[in-house]
Amino acid sequence: MTFEEFLRQSILTLITFVPFLGGGILMLLPEKNNTHKNIIRWAALLFSLIPLGLSILLWIWFVQSPEPCNSIVANPCFEVDWRWFPAINARYHLGVDGISLPLILLTAILTPLAILMSWDIDDRVKVYMGLFLTLEMGMMGVFVSLDLLLWFVFYEFGLVPMYLLINQWGSEPPPDAEERRAQGEIVRDRRYASVKFMIYTIAASVGMLLSIAFIGGVAGTFSIPDLTTLWPALEGGTGVLAEVGVPVVKTVTFILMTVAFAVKVPLWPFHTWLPDAHTEAPTAGSMILAGVLLKLGAYGFIRIILPLFPEQAHVFAPVLAVLAMLAIVLGAYASFAQTDFKRLVAYSSVNHMGFVMLAIAAAAWVGYGSAFAEGANRTSAIIAMNGAVLQMVNHGISAAAMFACVGMLYHRTHTRDLTKYGGVWAIAPAYGFVMGFTAMASLGLPGLNGFVSEFMVVRGVFPIGAGETAIFTLMVIISMLGLLFTGAYVLKALRNVLQGPVNPEAVELAHGHPLEMNIREGIAMAPLLVLMLVLGVYPFWLVEIINSTITVMWS
Amino acid sequence: MNIEILLWLIPLPPLLAFFIIMLFSRGNKVFADVVSIGAMVGTWVLSLIVLFTALGIGGSELGKHPIESSIEWLPIGEMLSTGEAAPEPAEGTEEGREIPANAVTEEGFRMGVILDPLNTVLIFFVPLTATMIFIYASGYMGTGHYWTLVLEGEDHHDADQHDEDHDVEAHHDDHGHHTVVDDAGRTIAHTDATKWKARFMGIISLFAGGMLLLTMADNLLLLFMGWEIMGLCSYLLIGFWNDRIYPNEPGRITPPFAGIKAFMTTRAADVVMLIGIAWLYSVTGTLSYREILYNEEVLHALEAMAFPANPLLAPLGLSIGGAIALLLFTGTVGKSAQFPLHTWLPDAMEGPTPVSAMIHAATMVSAGIYLLLRFFPLISLGWGHGVEGFPLQMQIIAGVGAFTALFAATIAIAQNDIKKVLAYSTISQLGFMVAAVGIGAYIAAAFHLMTHAVFKALLFMGSGSVIHAVEHGAEHAEHHGHHLPIDFDPQDMRNMGGLLTRLPITAWTFIIGGAALSGFPFITAGFWSKDEILLDAWHEAPIVFWVLAIAAFLTAFYTARQIAMTFLGEPRTVAAEEAGPTGFRMEFPLIVLAVGAVLLGYIGVHPEMPVFGPIFSPDPEGSPFKLFVGKTLLESPELLALEAPSVITSIIVALGGLAVGLLVYGLRPLQSPDSTDPLKRLLGPVHTLLANKYYMDELYDAVFVRPAQAIAVFIFLVLDRGIIDNLIHSIARFTEWVGFRNKDFDTEIINGFGDRFARSVAQTGQQLKYSQTGRIQQYLVVVATGVILLFGVFLYTIFLR
C-alpha cells in the first residue's frame, strides 16, 4: 500500500481524529508562564490547520475523482466500513458526498480562524484549546459518518465541549448574578445559557436516540445508505410494529427526530436557547456555534429525515414551511428589537436558518427521489435544496464573521450595549470596513454570498406545489417581509456601532486600547471576507459539487 | 480587441478602484482621486470604443443580433426541458398555458453581458456623466465643514487628537476646536467635511461600477445585482457625513437616518421585485433578456396565462406576464422614487452634492426607468395588435407616473432648499418617463431618460457649486467679523440672491440646465424629449397629456423661481455677498454638461417638425435616435404624426411657466431671508401643505415605522421572552419540582423506611435493655408467666378447637 493509498483510505478518519489527538497532546504540555501559553496557542492552531490541509486535499481528490462522488448510496467516496459494535451491527462507516464535503471544508476553515480569534484567552488556555479541538472532532464526525449510531455519538459529543466553553469562558456574569439567582430571579448569564443549551438539546435528543435504537433494531442495521432504501420500504413486522402499525411507528419516530433537529437548527418556536447561548458564549464559541453547530440540525434533516421518512416529511412539509416562515419573520423582528449587539446577531441566525428550513420543507413536499412530484416541481426542489446547502455554508461564513466583529469590540470594551457605541468607523476605519462588508453579506447584498443562496431558495420554493397547494408560495411571499427586516436590523447595528458622532463611552471602556482591529484579527477575518466575495461573484465551483448530489437525491 | 471582452471590462475599473481605495489608500486623498478618476476615465474610453462600434454596426443590425457573451454561473439541476412549468396560482388548463420547451435552458444559470441599442444609450451617458461627477467630486470634497455633536466625556484634548488623525487642513483650525452650545442644549463643534474624502471616492467608484454592471447585464439577476449595489452605495453616501447634526433643528433628519430611510424604502420595493424575478424565473426557466423578451413564443405564453385564475377577478384582464411586470414595476417605484415610495429621495439630499447628482441624475434613479424600458415587451403584453385601450398593468404604470409627475411638481414649488427643489423635480421628471412607458411611448421615455440625465446632473452640480460658494462666502464673512447664526443654511435659497455676477459660469450653466428642464423651445434638449412624451400622450391618452402638461407648466414655474431666487436680485445675506467662483474642477464639468444639455436634443427631433426636422432628421421614418433605439424591440414602434396642438401646448406651458415664475420672483425679488414667499400669500394653507410635502413622512412614520418597532419589541419581549421562555422555564421548574419531590420520596420513604426500621430496632433494644435487670426473681416471674401462657395456648389449640 503506497502512502497515497493509505491516505485515501484514512483521510476521513484523520480529518476527524487529528484534532482530538492534538487536544490530547496539548494536555501534556506545561502551562506555567506566558511562553508556555503561547506554545499552546500555536500548537492548537497547528493542529487545527492539519484538518484544513487534509480537507483541501479531500476537495481536490473529490473533484478529480474519475467516478462522480455524488451519492452516499450509489457512489460513496473515501468510504470506510469497519467493524465497530458487532452485537448490534453498528459499524464505523464513513463517507462523503457533495452535501457533506462543503460542510467539512467550512468546519475546517472556521476552526483555525476561531482559534485565532481566541488568542487573547488567558485563563486555562490549555483546557480551552483542548476543548476547542475536541469540538472540531465532534462536528467533523457528524459530517463524515454514514452509520446512524456513530452519527448520533458524534452529534451528542459536540455538546460537551461547547457546554464547558460557554459555562467557563463565556461573557463575564454580572457581579450580583448568584445573589439574584438565589432570590429566584432568572439571570441570563453564561451559567443559565450553558445549562439551557445543554438541557434543551439533550432533552430533544432523547427522542432521537429512541428512534435511532428502534430503527436500528427493526432494520438490523444502522447504515444510513442501507436504511435509505430499507426503512421507507418497511411495511410490516412483529412486536410494536404489528401492535400499533407501521405508519404510526414511522410517524412517531419521524416527529421525535424532527423535534431533535428542529431544536438544533433552530426552528421556531424551539429557538429561544440560541440567543442566550450565542450571546453568552466566548467569541470563538459563538463563531463555531453559529457557523457549524446549527448546520448539524439542518444536515440531519437532509441526511436522515428526508431520505428515511419521505412520506411523513411530505405530510408535515406545510407545517415545517410555516414554522420556517415564522423563524424568518419573527427572527428578523426580534433581532430588530435588540439593544444587545451580540443578541442582535444571534437572532439573525434564526432568521437566516429559516431559509434553509423553508427550502427543506419545500423539498420534503416534493419528496426524496421526487416521490410525490415531478417535472417543474422537481426542478424547483433541486434549486431550493442547492440553495439550502449553499445557504448553510454562506451563513456559516457570514455569521461567524459577524460574531467575530462583535467579539473584537466586546473584547476591548466589555460591553455589548449598542447605545454605548457610535462613530467606530471614524476611529477604526479598517474595522469599519470589515464589519460593514460582513453586515452586507449578512443582509443578502447581491454580489456577496448570502444573496445567491437566498435567491436560489426563493426561486426554488416559490413555484413548488403549483396547482395543488399554495402554501409554499405564500410562505415565500411572507418571508420577504423577513428579508425586509433583515435589512432593518443590520442597518440598525451599523448605525449604532459605526455611524454617528464618536461615542466616548466605548472609548473610555476600552481603557486606552485602540478599537481598531489588529493584524492577527485581520488575518482571521481576511479568508472569510474573500469567501463572501468569491461565493457571491462566482458560486459555480461550490454549487457544482452540491448540485451533483442534490440532483441524484431528487432524481 | 475583441468587442465582447470590452463589454466585460467596462464595469471593472471602477469596481477595482473601490477595492484598491478601500484597502490601500489609508486616507490619502490624492491617491483616491487619481485611482478613482483614472479608473472612471478608463471606463469612459472603453465605453466610447464600444459606443462607436455600436453606432458603426447600426441600430437595425444590433437590434437583431446584439453582441453577447456569457459564462455558466450556477449549475442547478439538469434543468430538464419539461414543458410544464406551471406557474403556481394558475389553475385550470387554459389554452396556451405551456411554456415552449426551448425557453428552458439546459445548463443552469448563465451570467453575461450584452450590447444592444437600448443599453448603448446608457453606455453613452452613464460613463460621461459619471466621469464629470468624479472630477467635480474631487473638487467638491476638497473643502468645507459641518457641525457635529460633541458628546460628554470627550474633552478638548481628545477632540484635538481626533482631528489630527484626520489630517485637518490648517485654515480650519480656526473653526475646528471651539465648541458651541445650541438651543437644544447640545454641545456642537465644527468638523472637517473632507476628512473621509478617500472613502468617498471609493464608494462612488463602487456606485459607478454597480450602474455599469446593470447597464451591461444580459439578464435580470445581474441587473438586480447592480441595482442593489447602487442601493448600498446610496445608503453609504447619503449617510456619508454620518456624524453630522443640524444645530437648532433637533427634528431634522440627519444623514445616517436619511441613508437608512433610502435603503429601507427601496428595499421594501426590491423584495417585491425579487418575488417578480423568482416568478418570472420559475415560469420561463430563465432570466435572460433574449430568451424572454425576444422570444415570441414565451411572450405569447405569458400573455395567454390569466392571473389570477379566479374567474371573479378575470375581468381585471391581467395576464401572468402583466402581473410579473407589475411586480418588477414595484422595483422601479422604489428606485425611481415614484409615489408612494418617493419619500426617501428628498431626504437623500443629506448626502454630499456629487452624490445627489450621482443618485438622481446619471445612475440610480435612471436604473428604474431602464428596467421598465428593458422589460417593455413584458409590460406591453396585450397592448396594440388591434386591441383597444391599455392592459391593466400599463394603466397602472401610466397612472402612477402621471400622478407622480404632477404631485412632485406641486411640492417643488414650495421648497426653499435649492437641492430639495431639484429632488422633487427629479421625482416629477421620472414620473414623466414612467407615464411615457405606461402609454407605450418607448422612444420618448428613453430619449427623456438620456437628456434628463445630462441636464439634471448639470443642475445638481450647479446647485452644489452654488452651495459651495455660499459656504465660502459665509467663511469669508466670518473672517471679516460678520456673525452668522449657527443654523445658517447655505442651501436655503432665501439666503442667496444676486449670485449671477458673483459666479457667472455656474450661474449661466445652471440657467441652461434650468431652461432644458423647463423645456425651453427649440434650443434645449429638454424641449425635444418632453415634447415627444407629450405628443405620444396626445395620441394615446388625453388624460395623461393634460396632467403632464400641467406638471410641465409647474416645472417651468419652479425652475424660474429657483433661478430668480438664487441668481437674480441682490444678495440677501453677507454670505451670498461674499460668494465667489468655485474653481476649475467644479466648473469644467458644468460646461461640458451644459453643451450636452443643448446639443443632445437634436438627435431626437421629430422629422415633421418645421425647420428643425429636415435638418436633423432627414429620414421621414423617424429621428436618428428613434431609428437606432427603436430597433431594440422586436417590432420597432411606429412614428406618430406630429400634432400642432400638442407642440403648441408644450411651448406654451414651458414659456408660460417660466414667464409667470420670473414675473413673481424675478421682477420683485425677495428683500431678505425672512420675507414671506409671494406664493404663500396667494395659496395660504395649501402652501403649508405643499411645503410639508403633504405630511407623508409623518404619515409613514405613524403607520409603518412606529408600529414595526412596537411589533419587534412585542415579539421579543412578549412572544420569545414572555411566552416561549416562560413555558420552558415552567417545564424546568416543574421538572425541578418533580425532582425535589422525588428526592423527598427517596429521603422520606425509601431511605426513611430503612432508617426508621433501624432506628426503631435500636430504640426497642434501648428500651428492652431495662428488662435486663439481672434479678433472678424477676426472670423467674417472667419465665413462669411465659410457661403459663404457653400452656394456656397449648390447651386452647388442643382441646377447644
| Segment B559-572, tens digit of pLDDT | 998 998 888 888 88
Task: Determine the pLDDT at residue B98.
Answer: 43
Residues B657 and B704 grouped into a single domain? no
- Is B199 part of a structural domain of the chain? yes
Higher confidence at residue B690 or residue A533? A533
Chain B residue nearest residue A477, CA to CA: B275
| B782: in domain | yes
Q: Are residues B262 and B359 in the same domain?
A: yes
A512 inside 8 A of chain B by CB: no
With respect to residue B627, please indicate whether it lies within any of the assigned structural domains: yes
Asked whether the beta carbons of residue B260 and residue A476 sit closer than 8 angstroms, the reply is no
Q: How confident is the model at residue B585 (pLDDT cuts 50, 70, 90)?
A: confident
Residue A334 with chain B: CB contacts under 8 Å:
712, 715-716, 719-720
Give the confidence band of B158 by pLDDT, cuts at 50, 70, 90.
very low
Q: Rounded to a whole number, what is the distance in Å from the CA of B41 to chain A's nearest CA?
A: 24
Query: Which pLDDT does position B96 carry in this prediction?
Result: 37
Q: Which amino acid is at B215?
A: T
Q: Is B185 among the domain residues? A: no
* B548 part of a folded domain: yes
Residue B101, chain A, CB below 8 Å: the answer is no
State how far the alpha carbon of A68 is from the alpha carbons of A224, B106, B320, in Å: 19, 20, 40
Q: Are B721 and B713 in contact (CB under 8 A)?
A: no
Check: complex ipTM more than 0.95: no
- Do both B111 and B128 map to the same domain? yes
**Mean of the pLDDT values across residues B151-168?**
45
Q: Quick check: B81 pLDDT over 50? A: no
Chain B residues 428-457 within an 8 A CB cutoff of chain A: none
The residue of chain A nearest to residue B158, with distances taken between CA atoms, is A504
Q: Is the pLDDT of residue B352 over 80?
A: yes
Reported as a pLDDT band with limits 50, 70 and 90, residue B153 is: low
Pairwise pLDDT comparison (B162 vs B220), residue with the higher score = B220
Q: Is A462 helix (H, G, I), strand (E, B) or coil?
A: coil
Chain B residues with CB-CB distance to A505 below 8 A: 153
**DSSP assignments along B282-302, one per residue:** HHHS--BHHHHHT-HHHHHHH
B311 with B419, same domain? no
Same domain, B457 and B334: no
For chain B, helix, strand, coil in percent to 5 are 70, 5, 25
User: Chain B, 670-729: which have a CB under 8 Å from a chain A CB?
Assistant: 708-709, 711-713, 715-717, 719-720, 724-725, 728-729
Whether residue A544 and residue B75 make contact (CB cut-off 8 A), yes or no, is yes
CB contact under 8 A, B281 and A272: no
Instruction: Over range B369-384, report the average pLDDT.
Output: 86
For residue A308, give the amino acid letter. Answer: L
Q: Are residues B713 and B680 in the same domain?
A: no
CB contact set of B585 (below 8 Å; sequence gap of 6+): B135, B136, B138, B139, B140, B142
Residues within 8 A of A (CB atoms), B 251-310 only: 256-257, 260, 263-264, 267-268, 271-272, 274-275, 277-279, 281-283, 285
* Range of weakest confidence among B179-193, B579-593, B770-784: B179-193
Examine the fold and report which residue of B634, B664, B691 is the final residue of a domain before the chain moves on.
Answer: B691
Q: Which of B641, B656, B691 is the last residue of a domain?
A: B691
B:107-146 residues touching chain A, CB 8 A cutoff: 108
Same structural domain for residues B342 and B404? no
Q: For residue B241, give how far its alpha carbon lies from the nearest alpha carbon of chain A (Å).
A: 8
CB atoms within 10 A of CB A453: 29
- Chain B positions touching A427 (Cβ under 8 A) are 162, 165
A198 and B CB contact within 8 Å: no
- Would you say A222 and A153 are in contact if contact means Cβ atoms under 8 Å apart? no
Range of the domain at B215: 1-144+193-245+253-382
The low-confidence residues of chain A, meaning pLDDT below 70, are: none
Nearest-Cα residue of chain B relative to residue A275? B720
pLDDT at B508 exceeding the cut of 50:
yes
- B783: pLDDT strictly greater than 70: yes
Residue A181 lies in a domain: no
- The answer to whether residue B774 is domain-embedded is yes
Compare CB distances from A379 to B77, B91, B256 and report the shortest one's residue. Answer: B77
Verify whether the Cβ–Cβ distance A476 to B275 is below 8 Å.
Answer: yes
* pLDDT score of B740 more than 80: yes
Q: Which of B280, B720, B735 to mutate to test the interface with A (most CBs of A within 10 A)?
A: B720
Does residue A178 lie in a domain region?
Answer: no
Q: How confident is the model at residue B313 (pLDDT cuts 50, 70, 90)?
A: low
Range of the domain at A456: 3-173+186-553
- Among A445, A467, A539, select the one facing B228 at the smallest CB separation: A445
Together in a domain, B414 and B361: no
Q: What is the mean pLDDT of residues B19-38?
A: 86
Contact A483 B283 (CB under 8 A): no
CB contact under 8 A, A459 and B278: yes
Cα-based distances in Å from B678 to A337, B134, B497, B663, B689: 47, 38, 16, 11, 16
Q: Looking at residue B787, what is its pLDDT?
A: 92
pLDDT-derived band at B576 (thresholds 50, 70, 90) equals confident
B736 contacts in chain A (CB < 8 Å): none
Average pLDDT, integer, range B463-473: 86
Number of domains within chain B: 3
Mean pLDDT (chain B, rounded): 82
Q: Which of B219, B271, B737 to mutate to test the interface with A (most CBs of A within 10 A)?
A: B271
pTM of this structure:
0.88
B212 shares a domain with B355: yes
Q: What is the pLDDT of residue B315?
A: 61
Q: Which residue of A has its CA nearest to B21?
A: A433
How close, in Å, is residue B730 to chain A by CA atoms? 12
Pair type for strands B109-115 and B145-149? unpaired
B246 C-beta neighbours (distance < 10 Å), count: 19
Query: Do B462 and B611 lie in a common domain?
Result: yes
Are A90 and A84 within 8 A, CB to CB? yes
Per-residue pLDDT, B161: 42
Please check whether residues B643 and B535 belong to one and the same domain.
yes
Amino acid at B32: A
Question: Is B182 a member of any domain?
Answer: no
Q: What is the structure's pLDDT at B148?
A: 81
Which pLDDT does position A503 carry in this prediction? 82
Percent helix, strand, coil in chain A, to 5, is: 75, 5, 20
Tell me which residues of chain B, numbers 550 to 589, contact chain A at a CB-CB cutoff of 8 Å: none
Q: What is the pLDDT of residue A115?
A: 93
Domain boundary among B665, B691, B717: B691
Number of domains making up chain A: 1
Q: Would you say residue B158 lies in a domain? A: no
| Same-domain pairing of B515 and B664 | yes
**B-proximal residues of A, 272-331, CB under 8 Å:** 272, 275, 330
- Interface with chain A: mutation pick from B274, B725, B728, highest number of A CBs within 10 Å: B274
Q: What's A116's DSSP letter?
A: H
